[in-house]
Amino acid sequence: MIADAILAHHLLDRQQIAARVAQDLEDDWVVNIGIGMPTLVPAHIAAQRDVILHSENGIVGMGPPPKNPKDVDPDLLNAGKEPVTLVTGGAYVHHADSFAIVRGGRLDAAILGAFQVAANGDLANWKLRGRPGGNVGGAMDIAVGAKRVFVMMTHTTREGEPKVVEELTYPLTAKGVVSTIFTDMAVIAVTPEGFTLQETAPELTAADVQDATGAPLIVADDLKSISV
């Protein structure tokens, strides 16, 4: 228990994970922002960056949440029904047009939450194991349509079960789509050889991350500490 408490003290919080994801977004990309933890990312993208954020409910050019509650527009909400802003040139679009962007291969990246990611890049994020129902939303289209899928999640469940696994045990969302996983412990690339550990949270070791992972990790030669 003492070791677990010490380890937890070194985990990234949700805002730090979001800040780290924002570092990997490139100018001129069109990026879908998924529901849940991914909605924290827009606030960490510098205003001078030229990243076009897409929300599946019909926003192209989505900005961060309004800083002042007085600026909240009840008609301007992200897919998670949270208030957001529009950047200059941003627009509302019809739901069909929003998914034409998705299905037409126009997304350079998608940032999604997940329940599990498998070593071959399989994604599970719509239904918990054993639950009678789930929430499909647009995740299946987005995961397949995006050129790269960045997953944001905690490294383990509340019960300590790994979410980064050899094979999925939760219902599949899409096969072989995940490019990179960002957790409170690490940044992990999904490669043809399996999971490659690229970065660890400060003061965590590769062994710490491996102990919390349900699949073998290849440790990058240039393993780094996450900087946010």
Residues designated catalytic: 56
> 80, 58 in Cβ contact below 8 A?
no
For residue 134, how many C-alpha atoms fall within 13 Å in the half-sphere facing its CB?
18
- Please give the DSSP secondary-structure letter assigned to residue 1: -
Q: How many angstroms separate the CA atoms of 153 and 207, rounded?
A: 19
Q: How many angstroms separate the CA atoms of 93 and 78, rounded?
A: 13
> 37, 113 in Cβ contact below 8 A?
yes
Q: Angle at Cα 8 formed by Cα 128 and Cα 135, nearest 5°?
A: 15
Partners of residue 102 on adjacent β-strands? none
The encoded tokens of residue 175 equal 């096969």
> 163, 115 in Cβ contact below 8 A?
yes
> 218, 168 in Cβ contact below 8 A?
no
> 87, 63 in Cβ contact below 8 A?
yes
Q: How many CB atoms lie within 10 A of CB 91?
A: 12
